[in-house]
Structure 1
Amino acid sequence: MNLLYSEVEEELRASVRALLADHSPAAVTLARIEAPDVHDPALWRTLAADLGTAGLPVPEALGGAGASVRETAVVLEELGRSVAPVPFLGSAVLATTALLAAGDPAVADLADGTRTGSLAVPLSTAPGRPFTPSVRRDPDGTLSGRVTSVADARSADLLVVPAEGGALFVVEPAAGGCTIEPRRSLDLTRPLADVLLDRAPARQLADEPAVLERTLQTGAGLLASEQLGIAEWCLAETVGYLRERRQFNRPVGSFQGLKHRLADLWLQLTGARAAARHAADALAAETVTATALSPDTAIAVAVAQAHCGTVAVRAAEECVQLHGGIGMTWEHPAHLYLKRAKADQLALGTPGHHRSLLAELADLPA
């Protein structure tokens, strides 16, 4: 186990942070949430193709960078810090993991950033529990059905769709038979949509449910890094504000009660960082084409999600409250982080679900 950031990871972090600071500052993100399409295609091309972050865990033979999900976790941390409106979770994490686990060559198109993908399951779908797909396979091999609340589906060039029986299929919306209906989501920077399939042409990707389970576990483990980034931004922004805001002719941050609240939050964030890094390191040790994770990795993922989701929401709530009146305004970005934190807390399994899963994995019955 290695929880420290390597020199390469720190260099990657610096590059991603500089890019997001230049192209996705808070003012730009606040403006984009009012646009019909929240995703920023120019930022995504630079992030995915120019920096090569879309294919970090993909082997070089398949057009990727040949790195690991540790580097992917670093990118997610920075995306959590900026709540940038890009389809990284849906495409570079969920869809890419499914294609890799199934050994499908289409992963090369996602790895080089020329196309984007999405996993066509409700974002709240959790690993470790039976999943009943709402899509059926027609006698002619096409797919029909409706999938609700799919993340990053609006910008996807291909969809990885689970169907009845546990098989996975690849559907290209441009081929017809597929309608994407936008939904109003809590997190304005990560749009959700309903996917309607009506005899949509499909190509079978895998015939076993284990590929979907591996994808959901990997997504949950890496989502913890995004939650860590959210918490880090909220704490840093709050500390900076309380140093400048003055009441009774002294900085608000000098009040003992607020110091205690921030110190408590810092301790929770430190634990969240350890849990998220442990999950990323454990996932990086797994073979990218394996369809099942080791028990130790599954435990690391459950621990990270059980802890990081709660810490991110707590940090965002403190950020809004301790900013006072300005923190409640639409013009301040604090509400974006609170909504992202709450949406992430529900995504890929709630903390309560992962605590229950952890009890089973660690053989601790209720």
Structure 2
Amino acid sequence: MTFTPEQDDLRAGVRKLLDREAEPWPALCAQIGIAALLVPERFGGFATELTTPPAHSGQAPGLTEAQIVAEELGRHLADVPFLGSSVLAVTSLLTTIDTSTNTAPDALSRLLPPLATGSAGALAWTSDGRWDTHQPAFTTDGSTVDGIAHYVLDAAGADLLLAAARTPDGPALFEVDPAHSGVRCAPVPTMDETCHLATVTLDHVRARPLGPVDLARVRDVACAVLAAEQAGAAAQALDLTVEYTQQRVQFGRPIGSFQALKHRMADLHVQVETARSAAYAAPRSSRLAAVAKVHCSEVFTKVAAEMIQLHGGIAITWDHPAHRYLKRAHATAQLFGAPHHHLSRVHP
């Protein structure tokens, strides 16, 4: 894929800031504006306005830029709420816009500007980890929402909580006050300490209806951005492995000079490049979003496992980052549906 000079500058800026900042989220939002990439200009963001309905659920202005940011965040295993807030929450709100008339609910003028500046939002959606686009976690009577959602990204401490609920006309989006007494948010322990998941319970909580939500589009955008994050993390894991094999000496030679290891790393390089290609092709169709989710999950898991193997004993120490890449690989493989859940979309 060919990137514009502006996109190359975005990548360089994000990478430089991540190298410099220990807590990068405030600077990423204030200096680069990554939280505003998918937010339309009329709501304080950088995305151009849609003048016609998108050709399919995955296309969205600013999505390539969001993938570029995600790829760099993946390389650094950055602990930021970009995916949960700037992608999931923002995209779910955008799907309530009537694209035939470009009419947005009044609430978006209140909800999107804070998200564009880095305020944290969360979307509670799945009840079983399959991220079913027709059967979200919650039920509603029109004014209250009830149920339990699992695996909610960045819900703890979120300023805005969105809930997808079942209605006779299809899934709808509701705004919930996170401080309401009927809202319970329980963090879920995970191997990856940078992946913040929670179980959100709503006990007949009064909620503000925002309109119908296109969860299929939300899932495709989320898979496209996550695939770019996985590709970036896999590329960095491979780079670290290649660097190590050039330094580790065995039998008087760097182990990277052994032909068997050269072949293994060459195979990994090909897989990483195909994963990156799949990730940036994902916005073209819902099927390609599914392909990217399956392929990037499998490639990242394989590269992370080979990273452990090729580093030897040092890779299983707490101080070495190899274990963090393996944990992130396993966590993201299950996010938004395990790979085998998406195969039916690849081979209908």
TM-score by length of 1: 0.83
Among 154, 173, 182, the residue aligned to 1:168: 173
In the alignment, which residue of structure 2 is the partner of 1:185?
190
Q: Is the 8 A contact 1:100 1:107 kept in 2?
A: no
TM-superposed CA distance for 1:9, in Å, is 1.2
The residue type paired with residue 190 of structure 2 is S
TM-score (norm 2): 0.87
User: Structure 2 stretches of 5 or more lacking a match?
Assistant: 48-60, 98-107
Indicate yes or no: 2:32 matched with 1:70: no
Question: Deviation at 1:142?
Answer: 2.2
Output the CA distance in 2 between the equivalents of 1:16 and 1:153. Answer: 24
With over 3 angstroms needed to count, the CA separation of the structure-2 counterparts of 1:171 and 1:50, relative to structure 1, is farther
Query: Could you tell me how far 1:326 is from its partner in structure 2?
Result: 0.7
1: CA distance, partners of 2:68 / 2:345:
26
The 3-state SS of whatever aligns with 1:202 is: strand
* Runs of 4+ in structure 1 over 4 Å off: 123-127
Q: Give 1:229's aligned residue.
A: 232
Q: Which deviations, in whole Å up to 9, do the C-alpha atoms of 1:302-331 show, x marking residues without a partner?
A: 221121110011111111111111101111
1:117-196 to structure 2, matched below 5 A, reads 117-122=121-126, 125-126=129-130, 129=132, 131-138=134-141, 141-165=143-167, 166-196=171-201
Per-residue CA shift, 1:95-130, capped at 9, x if unaligned?
0101111133312221122x2111112497456x55
Partner of residue 214 from structure 1, selected from 189, 214, 217: 217
**1:283-362 pair list within 5 angstroms:** 297-360=285-348
Secondary structure of the residue aligned to 2:24 is helix
Which ranges of structure 1 fall in alignment gaps of 5 or more residues? 25-41, 283-296, 361-366
Q: Is this contact kept in 2: 1:161–1:168, CA < 8 A?
A: yes
Q: Which residue of 2 aligns with 1:100?
A: 94
Does 2:201 align with 1:201? no
| Aligned position for 2:272 | 269
SS at match of 2:347: helix
1:259 matched to which residue of 2?
A: 262
Q: Which amino acid aligns with 2:154?
A: D
Secondary structure of the 2:243 match is helix
Counterpart of 1:153, as a letter, is: A
Question: Which of 47, 50, 58 is the matching residue for 2:39?
Answer: 58
Distance (whole Å) between structure 1 residues aligned to residue 251 and residue 340 of structure 2: 42
Q: Which residue of 2 aligns with 1:9?
A: 7
Per the alignment, do residues 101 and 279 of structure 1 end up closer, same or farther by CA in structure 2, a change over 3 Å counting?
Answer: same
Cα RMSD after superposing both structures: 1.8
1:248 to 236, 241, 251: 251
In structure 2, C-alpha distance between the alignment counterparts of 1:172 and 1:305, rounded to whole Å: 32
